[in-house]
A and B are shown apart, each in its own frame.
Chain A
Amino acid sequence: MIALEHVSKAFPGRGPEVRAVDDVSIAVGAGELVVLIGPSGSGKTTTMRMINRLETPTEGRITVNGRDVRDLNEVDLRRGIGYVIQQGGLFPHFTVADNVAVVPRLLGWSRQKRRARAHELLALVGLPPERFADRYPRQLSGGQQQRVGVARALAADPPIVLMDEPFGAVDPITRKGLQKELRRIQAEVQKTIVFVTHDIAEAFLLGDRIVLMADGRVVQDATPADLLRNPADPFVTAFIGEDRGLRGLQFTTLEELAEPAPGAATPGAMVLSGALSILDAGRELGRHGANGRHGTANGFWVADAGGNPTGYVSFQRFAATLGETVGASDADPGSADGGHGGVPA
């Protein structure tokens, strides 16, 4: 859907040329949410802004649906790509409904159709249109403004949405809510999204893939789970942070851990869904253990999507994985087994 091929961007300045983006290649598939993350000055925002030509690459090629963006009219290109920025970037003199419907208006939709679409989208982002449509942005809270920003980006139903730290300016609790909303909306609308953030937790929560950048280069481009399991270099580890182990537990599922089942599940034995993360499974085991239901079992079965127990995880293996992962960030592996879920080892 979107492809960046050896893209560089140099900003003219005094002294030696500064490359904000340096030979970056990224491919984003249809319906994928790719997070660009990195410290300030890593080039993540510039990289994103080159996709809708708010910045012009000095080298390389960017294609959207196989067409070089340089060959497209920049105004038409941007109308076909949703765009969300920090604090929404709402037009203060437009009502909420007019803000949402601005791209449809530029595209020449009728007033009636615009109004209907604005109402539809306000409902989608959780702002009842009858209450919010005719307000002005300054009458909304920061979180509500962000929702309007997201609604505006989706108004003309663009296949691609670019989001530049959209939730960066709101308080952590509101941010959590907005992130969950975005996941729900994304499940519904299935857009191709490029999402810029410097919040690693946000990246793990939202990203199908995470592209970690530093000094204008891509350091690692991987799924959240792979990034945690196989950090490319110490920079990645450092950026991911000290609690990498715990996050790893969130991103490894029982399915990945299970070995082929030794036989049919014994009646009454414990069966857990393969989709559970190790962290959640630990909690689950803890609950069962507290009820004294493990008995003499050495492990538990893992069920596939159809509910059939096709895999097996011994308690020993489970605990070892826990210890290993937590131990990677925690110098004292001894604290791993009991601490994070009450696993009977």
Chain B
Amino acid sequence: MEYLREHPDRVWELTVEHVQVVAVSVGIAILLGVPLGILVTRWRRLEGPVIGAAGMLYTVPSLALFGILIPYTGLGRDTVIVALVLYSLLAIVRNTVAGLDGILPATLDAARGVGMGGGQRLVMVELPLALPVILAGIRLATVAAVGIATIAAAVGVDGLGRLIFDGMRRLDTDRIVAGALVASVLALAADWGLARLGDLLRRDLRRSVGRG
């Protein structure tokens, strides 16, 4: 705890870096994963390969994945972001598919029957109804990414992992604890914050999508 008290600026700086990396990664993963999930529900033959590939990527140890990526993306942020995007895809794609599959067939039939086009069905009916499940996937991905991002220090990227790696090198337990503690708090905060955001969005979407 001493390190936290003595170097609040440094810890804050690293926390901001950490949050940035996670936010950018999860953001990209959402932009890729949600459309990919939608695509899978339209062309079912994609489901096996897409979910399978995402699942396999998820099992690759993070340090190994960084190592594999370095020749292509170099030492630095790019490598970390690509890796975190790949890890986040599984939860987001899978939950997008589950959320869309969970909509009652009668609701979809009604959407077609009243004369909604494909895009209108997606925006007015399917995504709003799948949103709680998609958001649960995003939460899962974010919490995992906060943890995995600590390894980023291994490829020279600043973040809370820097404290842990430095602490390990100097046998300075205080630093390790500081990094781990802040990372844990960050993960919990992200989890809680996204849950609240979900509640808000759901209420809001209901209003805006309903009344247009």
Contacts and interface: CB of A to CB of B under 8 A. Distances in A.
Q: Give the secondary structure class of A's interface.
A: helix
A73 B164 CA distance: 63
Nearest to B209: A93
B110 A106 contact: no
Question: Which label, helix, strand, loop or mixed, suits the secondary structure of the B interface?
Answer: helix
B85 to A, nearest CB: 30
B106 A91 contact: no
Contact of B113 (A85, A86, A92, A111): A85
B177 interface: no
Contact of A95 (B116, B120, B210): B210
A331 interface: no
A83 interface: yes
Given A106-B114, A111-B211, A92 B120 contact: no
A171 B43 CA distance: 39
A78 B115 contact: yes
A111 B208 CA distance: 12
Contact of A83 (B114, B129, B211): B114
B206 interface: yes
B107 interface: yes
Contacts of A103: 114-115
B71 interface: no
B106 A106 contact: no
A98 B205 CA distance: 13
Given A91-B111, A93-B128, A75 B211 contact: no
B110 A85 contact: yes
Contacts of A42: none
Contact of A98 (B110, B116, B129, B211): B211
B109 to A, nearest CB: 6
B48 interface: no
B210 A86 contact: no
Contact of A86 (B106, B111, B112, B128): B106
B210 A94 contact: yes
B212 interface: yes
B106 A79 contact: no
Nearest to A53: B112
B186 interface: no
Contact of A93 (B115, B117, B120, B206): B206
Contact of A106 (B116, B129, B206): B116
A54 interface: yes
A11 to B, nearest CB: 17
B75 interface: no
B4 interface: no
B116 to A, nearest CB: 6
Contacts of B205: 93
Nearest to A87: B106
Contacts of B124: 91
Interface in A57-76: 75-76
Given A89-B106, A152-B114, 14 more contacts: A54-B112, A54-B113, A75-B116, A77-B115, A78-B114, A83-B113, A83-B114, A85-B106, A89-B107, A91-B125, A93-B125, A93-B128, A94-B209, A162-B113
13 contacts: A54-B109, A54-B113, A75-B116, A85-B113, A86-B106, A93-B129, A93-B205, A93-B206, A94-B209, A102-B114, A105-B212, A106-B120, A111-B212
